[in-house]
């Protein structure tokens, strides 16, 4: 698929700091240790509605990882998918008497615009599930052949499932107990009660064609892909095993990232799928998780249409820590707008305090598990101080652009 436009990232003077990031699997903040090319897969949208501030917060968090790796001199190979065929898309299309293909294309186009406006650096590959179907079919056929997948005994709808225990490591990514797994599996797209499955936690790989649902002919029979195998296959084909970071919102810890890892590991007989599993916290509105099903959404495109500066949206979302569940409020936006104005005035001064110390602080805070509240506080302090260095305003504007993605 076509991705969105990029923009140049300025070089920052001084010494970069290697990134330490919380890893869900080991439950600790650990150094990321990429080679010359750092590889990152961030799960993309299911395009049945516009991008809300929760989605945006997640893509912004991992955009900082991208920027810090660039600062450390890595070539960053970033891949993102688009779940352009799945139940929620079909359900919304039926509800709105829309064509599911047109709905997906429209919302994906809007997502690209929102990401570009928020200055999220684009992935190198932006890959749809639909365009990946031949690869997914080949992967499911391989799992069937190796005995890690099986067909349910159902003449009418011979769906294919994954034996969740196939790798012997199931659960290593989330660390959840069985009760938590059962709950999230049922809540987040799983089908524990599907008759014919060998185990309630076995996950769908290939859904045999149903009347009135789109399907694709294949050697598996006509059907469409399950959700987790989509991300395993897209990540594997673009990046291979042992990717430096697999990321998404915390609602993807289980089942999605547990099964994506298990599928990829069963396909390759290698471990691990990812060397780091990163998860951003949930953004809510008035104390409730922002979600399509609850209808409490604030859309990036709505704010943009109302004339809000996308840099204020970005700054507002980054003013909280990415691992802290938090609510969006108009206060957060007002504060961000005031701060943006102050920062812009500070870098428009003829002289200011030297940049070097501030840049070190920005790097130190961001390299410490993306501590944006501390980085923002350091920039606030610099903005309030007077100084005599005529080079500092430009150097600081470039550092804030490169590291925080805020164009002043």
Q: What are phi and psi of 213, to 5 degrees?
A: -120, 145
Q: Please choose which of ligand 5CA, Zn ion, none residue 55 contacts, taking the beta carbon within 5 to 8 angstroms, the exact cut-off set by kind.
A: ligand 5CA
**Among positions 12, 21, 42, 43, the unique one binding Zn ion when judged by CB under 5 A:** 43
3-class DSSP assignment, residue 177: coil
Cα distances (Å, whole numbers) of residue 170 to 25, 113, 245, 247, 311: 12, 38, 19, 18, 41
Residue 79 binds to ligand 5CA (criterion: CB under 6 A):
no
Restricting to residues 288-317, name those near ligand 5CA by CB under 6 A.
289-291
Residue 58 binds to ligand 5CA (criterion: CB under 6 A):
yes
Site string for Zn ion, 214-253 (x = CB under 5 A): -----------------x----------------------
Q: Please choose which of ligand 5CA, Zn ion, none residue 372 contacts, taking the beta carbon within 5 to 8 angstroms, the exact cut-off set by kind.
A: none
Where do the DSSP E strands lie in 54-191?
Answer: 75-82, 125-128, 149-151, 160-162
Residue 231 binds to ligand 5CA (criterion: CB under 6 A):
yes
CB of 35 to Zn ion, least distance (A): 24
Cα distances (Å, whole numbers) of residue 19 to 24, 29, 184, 288: 16, 10, 31, 31
Element (H, E) at 24: none
Residue 85 binds to Zn ion (criterion: CB under 5 A):
no
Which residues, 6 or more positions from 317, have their beta carbon under 8 angstroms from its beta carbon?
Answer: 53, 56, 57, 60, 283, 328
CB of 124 to ligand 5CA, least distance (A): 18
Nearer to ligand 5CA, 181 or 231 (CB): 231
What span, in angstroms and rounded, lies between the C-alpha atoms of 375 and 315?
Answer: 11
3-class DSSP assignment, residue 193: coil
Count Cα neighbours of 308 within 13 Å in the Cβ-side half-sphere. 25
Q: Please choose which of Zn ion, ligand 5CA, none residue 289 contacts, taking the beta carbon within 5 to 8 angstroms, the exact cut-off set by kind.
A: ligand 5CA
Element (H, E) at 183: helix 178-187
**Among positions 24, 39, 80, 83, the unique one binding ligand 5CA when judged by CB under 6 A:** 83
**Among positions 24, 34, 54, 174, the unique one binding ligand 5CA when judged by CB under 6 A:** 54
Q: What are phi and psi of 122, to 5 degrees?
A: -75, 155
Q: Please choose which of Zn ion, ligand 5CA, none residue 201 contacts, taking the beta carbon within 5 to 8 angstroms, the exact cut-off set by kind.
A: none
Q: Please choose which of ligand 5CA, Zn ion, none residue 249 contacts, taking the beta carbon within 5 to 8 angstroms, the exact cut-off set by kind.
A: ligand 5CA
Residue 398 binds to ligand 5CA (criterion: CB under 6 A):
no
Nearer to ligand 5CA, 79 or 366 (CB): 79
């Amino acid at each position: 698929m076509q991705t969105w436009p990029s923009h140049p990232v300025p070089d920052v003077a001084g010494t970069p700091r290697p990134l330490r990031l919380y890893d869900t699997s080991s439950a600790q903040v650990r150094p990321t240790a990429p080679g010359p090319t750092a590889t990152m897969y961030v799960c993309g949208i299911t395009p049945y509605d516009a991008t809300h501030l929760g989605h945006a917060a997640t893509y912004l968090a991992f955009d900082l990882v991208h920027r810090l790796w660039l600062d450390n001199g890595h070539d960053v190979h970033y891949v993102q998918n688009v779940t352009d065929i799945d139940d929620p898309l079909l359900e919304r299309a039926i509800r709105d008497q829309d064509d599911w293909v047109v709905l997906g294309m429209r919302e994906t186009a809007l997502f690209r615009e929102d990401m570009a406006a928020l200055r999220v650096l684009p992935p190198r590959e932006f890959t749809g599930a639909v365009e990946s179907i031949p690869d997914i079919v080949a992967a499911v056929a391989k799992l069937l052949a190796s005995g890690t997948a099986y067909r349910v005994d159902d003449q009418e709808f011979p769906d294919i499932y994954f034996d969740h225990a196939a790798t012997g490591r199931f659960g290593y990514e989330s660390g959840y107990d069985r009760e938590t797994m059962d709950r999230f599996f049922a809540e987040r797209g799983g089908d524990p009660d599907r008759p014919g499955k060998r185990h309630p936690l076995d996950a769908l790989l290939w859904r045999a064609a149903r009347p009135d649902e789109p399907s694709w002919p294949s050697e598996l029979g006509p059907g469409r892909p399950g959700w987790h195998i989509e991300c395993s296959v897209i990540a594997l084909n673009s990046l291979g095993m042992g990717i430096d970071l697999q990321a998404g919102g915390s609602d993807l810890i289980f089942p999605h990232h547990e099964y994506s890892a298990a599928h990829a590991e069963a396909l390759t007989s290698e471990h691990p799928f990812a060397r780091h599993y990163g998860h951003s916290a949930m953004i809510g509105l008035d104390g409730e998780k922002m979600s399509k099903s609850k209808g409490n959404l604030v859309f990036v495109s709505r704010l943009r249409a109302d004339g809000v500066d996308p840099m204020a949206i970005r700054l507002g979302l980054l003013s909280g820590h990415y691992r802290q569940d938090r609510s969006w409020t108009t206060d957060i936006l007002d504060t961000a707008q005031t701060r943006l104005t102050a920062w812009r005035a500070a870098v428009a001064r003829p002289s200011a305090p030297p940049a070097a110390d501030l840049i070190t602080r920005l790097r130190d805070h961001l390299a410490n598990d993306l501590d944006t509240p501390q980085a923002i506080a350091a920039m606030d302090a610099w903005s309030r101080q007077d100084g005599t260095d005529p080079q500092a305003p430009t150097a600081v504007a470039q550092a804030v652009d490169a590291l925080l993605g805020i164009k002043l």
